[in-house]
Amino acid sequence: MRKNIMNYSLVVFIFISVFLFFGQIKKAQADLMVTPLRVVFEDRTRSAVVTIINVSNKTNTYRMEWKLFKMNEQGKYDELPQSDNSDFAKRARKLTEMVRFSPRQVVVAPGETQRVRLSLRRQADLEEGEYRAHLSFSKLPEIPKPSATDKKGIEFKLYMQLSFTIPVIFRNGGTTSASINKIEFISPKKDVKNKLSLKVDLEHVGNNTAFGKVLVFWTPKNRGKEQQIGLLNNVSLYPELTRRIIKIPLDVDNIDNGVLRIVYQGDGEYRGSIFDEKNFDIE
C-alpha cells in the first residue's frame, strides 16, 4: 500500500512539473529576442549578423547550434532524422558546411546584446536552387549546486533548455511562385472572441522559398467599399512543400454576400511583389 502511495505521489509530482514546464515556455522565450528572424544569402551576399538581446532581469547563457527541420502542410516543423538522405536533407547539411557562425556560446547580462556573425563560403559546382538549415538559440538552464540540506531519496527535477530557431537560407539561382487555390470559413468559437477564421490553401512551385504576408479584403454586395478584415504575417512556402494550409483570424463575426479578395504579398527580399491575388464570390 505504501509503495502504491509513493508511486502515485511520484506521478502527480511529474505531472505538475511537466505542467509548470510548459507554462514557463512562453515566459522563457520572451526573455530572449533575436533579430532578424531570418537570414538570406543570395547574389553577392557573403556575411550577415544576428543580434541576441537579453530582455530578462538575469544574466543568461545562450548556445547556438544548427538544427535541420522540414515544414509540413500545416506549417509545423519536423526535425530531420540522421538517416534521412533525401535531396532536401543533403542540401540542409550542405548549408551547415558552407555557413560558419561565431561565437557558439555567449553570456549576456540583463538588457545587453550580443552579435553573432555568419559567413558564407560558397562551394563549387553547387546545384541550382535553395539550401536551408535553422540556427537554434538555446537558453541554458540554471542548475543549482547540491547543498547539505537536500533530502535523500527519490527526487525528480526538471531542467528546461528552451530554444527557438531562425531559418538561414542560401539561394543559388532557382525560381519560386505561389498561388492561392481555395478557401474555407471556420466557424467562430467562444475562445476566439466569436470571430470567423479563414483557411487558405496555398500552392508552391519552384525550388526557392516564397515569403510574405496574406491579406484578406471584403467588399459587401451593394455596399461598395472594400475593407481589410484579415492579415497573417511571416508566411513561408518552403521548397519541400507543394502546398501549405494557413489559418487567418478575421476581424468580423460573419460574412454576408459579396466579394472576398485574398492577396499573398511578398515581404523581406520579395517586398513589392505579389505572388498571387484572387477574388472569391460569396453568396
Determine the Cα–Cα distance for residues 138 and 141; give it in Å rounded to an integer. 9
For residue 159, pLDDT beyond 50: no
Same domain, 137 and 245: no
For residue 28, pLDDT beyond 90: no
Same domain, 148 and 216: no
Residue 29 confidence (pLDDT): 56
Same domain, 150 and 232: no
Extract the C-alpha cell encoding 137: 538559440
Same domain, 90 and 189: no
User: What would the pLDDT profile of 97-148 be if each residue is shown by its tens digit?
Assistant: 999 999 999 999 999 999 999 999 999 889 999 999 999 999 998 765 655 5
In 3D space, the residue among 204, 260, 259, 198 whose CA is nearest the CA of residue 232 turns out to be: 198
User: What would the pLDDT profile of 40-99 be if each residue is shown by its tens digit?
Assistant: 999 888 999 999 999 999 999 999 999 999 999 999 999 999 899 999 999 999 999 999
Q: What mean pLDDT comes out for the span 216-232? A: 91
194: alpha, beta or left? (left if phi > 0; alpha if psi -120 to 50) = left
Same domain, 89 and 156: yes
Q: Which domain holds residue 185?
A: 176-282
Strand ranges across the sheet with 274-282: 227-237, 210-220, 258-266, 274-282
Domain count, the chain: 2
Same domain, 55 and 136: yes
Which among 118, 142, 172 is the end of a domain? Answer: 172
Residue 26 confidence (pLDDT): 44
Same domain, 238 and 122: no
Same domain, 40 and 165: yes
| Average per-residue pLDDT for the chain | 84
Beta bridge partners of 265: 213, 274
Residue 183: give its domain's CATH number: 2.60.40.10
Same domain, 36 and 65: yes
pLDDT band at residue 30 using 50, 70 and 90 as cut-offs: low
For residue 154, pLDDT beyond 70: no
Same domain, 134 and 213: no
206: alpha, beta or left? (left if phi > 0; alpha if psi -120 to 50) = left
Q: What mean pLDDT comes out for the span 257-278? A: 95
Same domain, 130 and 263: no
Report helix, strand or coil for 252: coil
